[in-house]
Structure 1
Amino acid sequence: MNSPLSQALEEAAPPEASVKEKLEYIETTFDLRVVRVAELLGVSRQAVYDWKGGKSLSEENHRRLDALYRAARRFKEAGLKSDYTTKHRLIGGELEFIQALGQDPLDAVEKLIEVAERGKRQREWLEKRLKTRPEPQGSIADELPPRYPGE
């Protein structure tokens, strides 16, 4: 179930890189271990190590690898950082980014970019709103009851 954007980006050929380079780029960009990359690609951990070692892969696996590689390039191009919060951020419904990455990588990255941009706009609006708010008088200590000995 590819979105129109995913299909358009899929058709754009990524720069030529070896399978090993693509796998390493994916690992470093998304800060993933080999086992997680294997899960996203729907293969065994050993298959990923074999591909890094030069073994050939099927056309279907190559297609999946290329889609994940393009998604990693778009992720980096957007200036996103791969941390726990980013990987587990909900994007569109109940899917976390890292889960969606295994289904439609390019669409997942685009949705994450939308979520991040919306969050940025909301923070900017809140900062602007708070700047016009009057400073509170006094402090919370003024509202607290006095301390009694033995408390």
Structure 2
Amino acid sequence: MDHPAATGDTSNVVRLVGWFVAAGAALSVIGTGGHLSPEHLQRGGQHALYATPGVEVAVVDDVRTPAEDLARIREVLHPAVSDLAATLGVSRQSVYNWLNGEQVAEENAARLQDLAQAADVLAHEGVAVNAALLKRKFANGRTLMQVAQAGDSARDAALMLVQTHRREVAQRERMNARFANRAKTPATADFDLPPSNDQV
């Protein structure tokens, strides 16, 4: 089966305001004149749209092949092959076979696409992905990979993670500003003098 050529690069970055509700909910996009439903994210040449409240939205014009989705996952998330295999419910050998060009079953291709879209969300928002982040539990006590393993939307979970990341960054910035604005204790005239000795 031939797949449409795709680069996997994001383009046409536009400024939109969206509201993301809990995992599985639809994203309402203001400024496009339309409503984004889960069907808009299915394969078949349709556009994939990622949004968080008040941030830029990246539009992917082309649908990637499963091999390209797998490459994107490895590029951004850096999962071990064993972890990726466990997440997708396949053997390590299956992952290696995919890397070597073997055809991917439709169900696994859909899960690869969802996880690759999660990687797109994190990369677009500049969230540094490391081992600690992948082990972080945030979605009802689950990690990003555990969400994907359960068959839930990894993309929606990534949007939740982005919101959490942005709140934490904002909190750190407020704390840093508070400490920076705190007045330093003024030095007194005898600040540098040694302590007095009243003994005779």
Q: Which bracket does the TM-score occupy, shorter chain normalised?
A: 0.7 to 0.9
Q: Which letter maps to 1:32?
A: P
Q: 2:75 aligns with which of 21, 24, 28?
A: 28
Which entry has the higher C-alpha Rg, 1 or 2?
2
Pairing 1:133–2:155 present: no
Counterparts of 1:58-137 in structure 2, within 5 Å, are 58-102=105-149, 103-136=152-185
Query: Which one-letter code corresponds to 1:10 in the other structure?
Result: L
Q: CA deviation at 1:99?
A: 2.5
Task: State the Cα distance separating 1:112 from its structure 2 match.
Answer: 0.9
Residue pair 1:27, 1:37 contacting (<8 A) in 2 also: no
Give the number of aligned pairs. Answer: 138
Identify unmatched segments of 5+ residues in structure 1.
Answer: 139-151
Q: Name the residue aligned to 2:25.
A: 3
Aligned-pair CA distance for 1:62: 1.4
Q: SS state of the match for residue 43, structure 1? A: coil
Letter in 2 for 1:4: A
Q: CA deviation at 1:93?
A: 3.5
Normalised by the length of structure 2, the TM-score is 0.59
Measured on the aligned residues, the alpha-carbon RMSD in Å equals 2.5
Contact 1:25 1:69 in 2 (8 A): yes
Q: Post-superposition shift, 1:80?
A: 1.3
Q: Which runs of 5 or more residues in structure 2 are unaligned?
A: 1-22, 28-36, 49-59, 188-200
Query: Cα distance 1:66–1:82, how it changes in 2: closer, same or farther (>3 A)?
Result: same
Using the TM superposition, give the Cα deviation of residue 119 of structure 1 relative to its aligned residue in structure 2, in angstroms: 0.3
- Structure (1/2) with the larger helix percentage: 1
* Residues 26/117 of structure 1: CA separation in 2 closer, same or farther (3 Å cut): same
Runs of 4+ more than 4 Å apart: none
Mean alpha-carbon deviation: is it higher for 30-39 or for 115-124?
Answer: 30-39
Question: One-letter code of the match for 1:20?
Answer: A
The change in CA–CA distance for 1:96 and 1:135 in structure 2 (over 3 A counts) is farther
